[in-house]
């Protein structure tokens, strides 16, 4: 015990000396900056130690007003650049103190507020990150009891909250780390605030933060729309990367708004929702109504559909879902109400509510929902059904809805039946979200199900997209997902017209794949089929709540011609991959339509070649030969070739194939073994396309595949053509002693290529049959 007391006495004596040294400093400049930093570090370490191990040490430092000394040091600093270090040490100290007693001391006497409101100079320096880290550290220690120490009040009203107000000045800072810290700080504040603080936070001018936040989000969406419709030299793939970056920012902001709403304080939620509805949701919804004023909207229809779908996915909530459903269905609600009035010989009162008044009523329902503090349902006049003159119901049909009239009035169905797949699919996705939401009002949900979901025309629209040969494979894949969901959702069977459409589409995909057997990448078809089978099955079975509505923007961009430079072999590669994707999609949809199980993995018909095939009749070392290997010359033909860095050389060439692998070997005669050759170059047989020069019949031109799909960032599983490899295709010209020898070499290459192709054809023959998978 005496030893412990002695240690405590020594520590306190040393720290009293440190504090006295700090008190003796009248001004901090460059000459004493390092000494002051050392003193502050020593004090912070001792305070932290005392808080955790010996309360007496901490109380001793409270008596010496350590926090007051830090504030004084900050005020007497002159061009010493000590602010960042001081803020860093304070952040460390606050983060590491745990006792309520220590936190109360640090937050009392306006120490923290004085440090926060000090006139720092943030221009051009690195002070901002230290300042925000300090504010965040403070926010992490506040609770409902200590919050009162950081606000200034006048009677029962909060009139100042420096921690919050100063942090918001950095809300739109250029550094992502600072933005994230400000948002974390604000959520810390919201989660511990009381009635008086919330009144301050949700009243002007402080509440302008929420409108600024949503306005910033709207500006991001406008920028996104600009990229989507840009008509510049950027390739479609480059623009898709740009919109992926922009949509990530949009989603981050939406999740932040969701976090604020989830705090559960009705004034805070209403403040956020009010700005979200007026500044973003309504501007995004108006183009979907096809009103005349849609031209004044900030967004195009496809971007609006993306924004609204994303808001529903991320923010969600009963009030928001019903507001959006009520706006989207307004043309059909008004149409149905008008028809009902005519049938009942009403006096025309159905037109008494203008659209703006209708929106105001919807908003009132939304805000009443927040003020109801989490009640499960809104009934009576405040229900969506009551708003338009109907009773809310759970029935899947609404008898008063005239489908034909709804179609004529356009609205969201005008996009569903659009010739633009991006608009058609994205509008269907929005309706699916609403129809499947448990929070959607029974009347509105029933209306969506009655006028859209069960109708065979929707399936017809999807099948027409699938059967259009001008669309991209991404469009086919997304259409396939909707067919999968639609047929499964309704348990529908295809009628005669729809069956004919699908059969036409399926046959087109099969013919296109068969054409690729004559292309330069036929040897990769079996492996691509296996890869794409698993990928396609996973994509088709993707749950709706996990699907990213970004597909709408990608479809819009993907419909435009790609003017990027790409080599012949890379273009051919992507064409082959797209043909496989399309065929696999149709094959799996066919299994769905015929109620067949789809295997998880695709098993191809692998056959063993007969002994009569060429690779058996030749030396067995040819098929596995690599660069530098010694192989028998055998039936190789002699010729000459000119290399750019080695001049003209006498060589031997031989085409060989084994199974799906085929290659052309170029060899030089072995210097000591006359019947052997050394491989100096290898080229794949597919894509060689041997052609005899018209003016020089002894020259044989070969096209060499330089593009290697292993280095293509899209490979075979990607939805997009990311032609990352722009290596120019190679060309070889072989010279022969006479035209007959040249012709014989050409025939030998074509025959060996044909044998290789025959093997691949036998591998996929079962897949190309009309009853593939059914057997």
Q: Give CA–CA dist 633/39, Å, rounded.
A: 85
Q: Which two tokens stand for residue 553?
A: 């923007």
With DSSP H G I counted as helix, E B as strand and the rest as coil, what are the percentages for the chain, rounded to 5? 60, 10, 35
Confidence of residue 290 (pLDDT cuts 50, 70, 90): low
DSSP 28: B
From the list 357, 368, 216, the residue with the least C-alpha distance to 279 is: 216
- What are 497-541's pLDDT values in tens digits? 888 889 999 999 999 999 999 999 999 999 999 999 999 999 999
Average pLDDT estimate for 545-572: 76
410 or 635, higher pLDDT:
635
Q: 626 falls in which pLDDT band (50, 70, 90)?
A: confident
Question: In the predicted model, is pLDDT for residue 684 greater than 80?
Answer: yes
pLDDT at 14: 55
Q: Determine contact, residues 768/512, Cβ cutoff 8 Å.
A: no
Average pLDDT over residues 208-223: 95
Q: CA 298 → CA 220, 231, 558, distances in Å?
A: 11, 18, 22
Q: pLDDT value at position 593?
A: 83
Instruction: Give me the long-range contacts of 641-646 (CB less than 8 A, separation at least 24).
Output: 641/666, 641/732, 641/733, 641/734, 641/735, 642/733, 642/735
pLDDT at site 333: 74
Whole-structure pTM value: 0.83
CA distance 148 to 410: 56
35: number of CA atoms within 13 Å, CB side? Answer: 13
Which of these ranges, 117-126, 293-302, 670-679, has the smallest mean pLDDT? Answer: 293-302
650: helix, coil or strand?
strand
Question: What is the average per-residue pLDDT within 299-325?
Answer: 93
Domain ranges of the chain: 2-203, 614-764
Which one-letter DSSP state was computed for residue 281? I
Contacts of residue 274, defined as CB under 8 A and 6 or more positions apart, other chains included, come to 363, 367
pLDDT the model gives residue 618: 47
Backbone dihedral angles phi then psi of residue 362, each to the nearest 5 degrees: -60, -45
- All residues at 6 or more sequence positions from 393 whose CB lies less than 8 Å from its CB, including other chains: 385, 442, 443, 446
Give the model confidence (pLDDT) of 346-401 as tens digits.
Answer: 344 444 456 777 777 777 777 776 665 543 333 344 444 444 443 333 333 333 34
Residue 165: which residues within 8 A CB-CB, separation 6 or more? 206
**Residue 1 pLDDT more than 90?**
no
Which pLDDT score, from 0 to 100, does residue 364 have?
A: 77
Who has greater pLDDT, 124 or 733?
A: 733
Q: Of the ranges 322-326, 646-650, 767-771, which is most confident?
A: 322-326
Q: Is 487 exposed, middle or buried (0-12, 13-18, 19+ CB in 10 A)?
A: middle
Q: Is the pLDDT of residue 468 over 50?
A: yes
Reply yes or no: is the peptide bond before residue 205 cis, omega within 30 of 0.
yes
**Is the pLDDT at 181 greater than 80, yes or no?**
yes
Look up tokens 């769905």; give the residue.
Answer: 592
Q: Say what the pLDDT of residue 51 is.
A: 75
R_g (Cα) of the chain, nearest Å: 37
Other CB atoms within 10 A of residue 204 CB: 7
% of the chain with per-residue pLDDT over 90: 43
**Taking a C-beta distance cutoff of 8 angstroms, is the pair 284, 308 a contact?**
yes
Which of 658-662, 708-712, 731-735 shows the lowest per-residue confidence on average (mean pLDDT)?
Answer: 708-712
Is the predicted pLDDT of residue 638 greater than 80, yes or no? yes
pLDDT in tens, 38-85: 888 888 888 887 777 777 777 777 777 888 888 998 888 876 678 999
Q: Flag whether pLDDT at 464 surpasses 60.
A: yes
523, 662 contact by CB (below 8 A): yes
Task: Say yes or no to pLDDT of 105 above 70.
Answer: yes
The yes or no reply on domain 614-764 and CATH 2.30.29.30 is yes
pLDDT of residue 619: 43
Check residue 152 and give its pLDDT.
94
| Residues 448-460: tens digit of each pLDDT | 877 665 567 888 8
Question: pLDDT value at position 520?
Answer: 92
Q: Which two tokens mark 473? A: 């494979």
Which among 332, 540, 309 has a CA at the least distance from the CA of 435?
A: 309
Instruction: Report the pLDDT value the prediction gives residue 567, as an integer from 0 to 100.
Output: 52
- Identify which of 771, 772, 767 has the alpha carbon closest to the alpha carbon of residue 525: 767
For the chain, give the mean pLDDT: 81
The residue count of the chain comes to: 775
* CA torsion through residues 408, 410, 413, 416, sign: positive
Token digits for 193? 């605030």
């Amino acid at each position: 015990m005496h030893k412990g007391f002695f240690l405590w006495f020594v520590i306190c004596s040393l720290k009293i000396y440190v504090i006295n040294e700090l008190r003796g400093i009248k001004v901090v400049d460059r000459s004493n900056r390092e000494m002051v930093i050392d003193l502050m570090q020593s004090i912070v370490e001792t305070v932290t130690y005392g808080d955790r191990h010996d309360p007496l040490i901490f109380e001793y430092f409270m008596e010496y007003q350590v926090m007051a000394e830090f504030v004084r040091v900050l005020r007497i600093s002159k061009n010493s650049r000590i602010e960042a270090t001081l803020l860093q040490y304070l952040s460390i100290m606050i983060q590491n103190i745990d006792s309520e007693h220590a936190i109360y001391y640090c937050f009392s006497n306006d120490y923290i507020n004085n440090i926060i409101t000090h006139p720092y100079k943030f221009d051009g320096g690195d002070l901002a990150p230290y300042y925000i880290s300090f504010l965040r550290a403070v926010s992490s220690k506040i609770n409902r009891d200590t919050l009162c120490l950081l606000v200034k009040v006048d009677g029962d009203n909060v009139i100042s909250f420096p921690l919050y107000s100063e942090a918001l000045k950095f809300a739109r800072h250029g550094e992502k780390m600072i933005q994230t810290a400000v948002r974390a700080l604000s959520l810390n504040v919201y989660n511990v605030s009381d009635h008086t603080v919330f009144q301050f936070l949700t009243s002007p001018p402080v509440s302008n933060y929420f409108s600024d936040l949503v306005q910033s989000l709207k500006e991001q969406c406008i920028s996104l729309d600009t990229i989507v419709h840009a008509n510049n030299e950027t390739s479609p793939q480059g623009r898709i990367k740009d919109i992926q970056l922009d949509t990530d920012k949009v989603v981050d902001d939406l999740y932040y708004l969701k976090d604020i709403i989830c705090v559960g304080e009705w004034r805070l939620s209403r403040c956020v929702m009010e700005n979200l509805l007026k500044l973003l949701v309504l501007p995004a919804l108006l183009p979907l109504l096809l009103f005349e004023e849609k031209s004044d909207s900030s967004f195009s229809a496809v971007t609006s559909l993306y924004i609204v779908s994303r808001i529903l996915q991320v923010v969600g909530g009963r009030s928001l879902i019903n507001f959006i459903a009520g706006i989207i269905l307004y043309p059909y609600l008004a149409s149905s109400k008008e028809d009902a009035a005519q049938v009942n010989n009403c006096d025309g009162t159905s037109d008494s509510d203008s659209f703006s008044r209708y929106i105001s009523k919807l908003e009132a329902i939304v805000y009443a929902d927040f003020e109801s503090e989490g009640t499960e349902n809104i009934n009576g006049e405040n229900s969506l059904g009551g708003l338009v003159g109907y009773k809310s119901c759970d029935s899947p049909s609404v008898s008063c809805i005239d489908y034909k009239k709804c179609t004529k009035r356009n609205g969201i169905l005008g996009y569903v039946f659009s010739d633009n797949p991006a608009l058609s699919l994205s509008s269907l996705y929005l309706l699916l979200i609403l129809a499947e939401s448990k929070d959607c009002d029974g009347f509105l949900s029933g209306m969506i199900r009655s006028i859209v979901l069960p109708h065979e025309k929707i399936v017809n629209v999807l099948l027409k997209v699938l059967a259009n040969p001008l669309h991209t494979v991404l469009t086919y894949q997304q259409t396939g997902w909707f067919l999968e969901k639609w047929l499964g959702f309704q348990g529908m069977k295809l009628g005669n017209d729809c069956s004919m459409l699908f059969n036409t589409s399926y046959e087109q995909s099969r013919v296109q794949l068969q054409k690729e057997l004559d292309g330069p990448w036929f040897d990769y078809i079996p492996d691509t089929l296996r890869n794409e089978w698993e990928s396609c099955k996973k994509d088709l079975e993707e749950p709706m709540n996990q699907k990213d509505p970004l597909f709408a923007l990608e479809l819009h961009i993907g419909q435009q011609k790609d003017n990027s430079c790409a080599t012949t072999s890379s273009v051919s590669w992507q064409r082959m991959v797209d043909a496989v994707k399309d065929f696999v999609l149709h094959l799996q949809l066919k299994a769905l339509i015929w109620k067949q199980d789809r295997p998880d993995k695709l098993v191809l018909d692998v056959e063993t070649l007969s002994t009569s095939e060429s690779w058996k009749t030749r030396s067995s070392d040819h098929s596995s030969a690599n660069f530098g290997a010694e192989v028998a010359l055998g039936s190789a033909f002699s010729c000459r070739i000119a290399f750019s860095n080695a001049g003209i050389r006498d060589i031997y060439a031989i085409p060989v194939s084994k199974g799906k692998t085929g290659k052309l070997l170029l060899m030089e005669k072995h210097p000591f073994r006359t019947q052997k050759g050394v491989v100096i170059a290898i080229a794949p047989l597919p894509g060689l396309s041997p052609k005899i020069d018209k003016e020089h019949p002894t020259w044989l031109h070969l096209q060499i595949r330089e593009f290697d799909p292993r280095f293509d960032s899209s490979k075979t599983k990607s939805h997009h053509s990311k032609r990352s490899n722009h290596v120019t295709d190679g060309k070889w010209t072989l010279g022969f002693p006479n035209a007959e020898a040249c012709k014989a070499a050409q025939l030998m290459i074509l025959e060996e290529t044909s044998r290789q192709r025959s093997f691949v054809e036998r591998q996929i023959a079962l897949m190309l049959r009309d009853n593939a998978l059914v057997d």
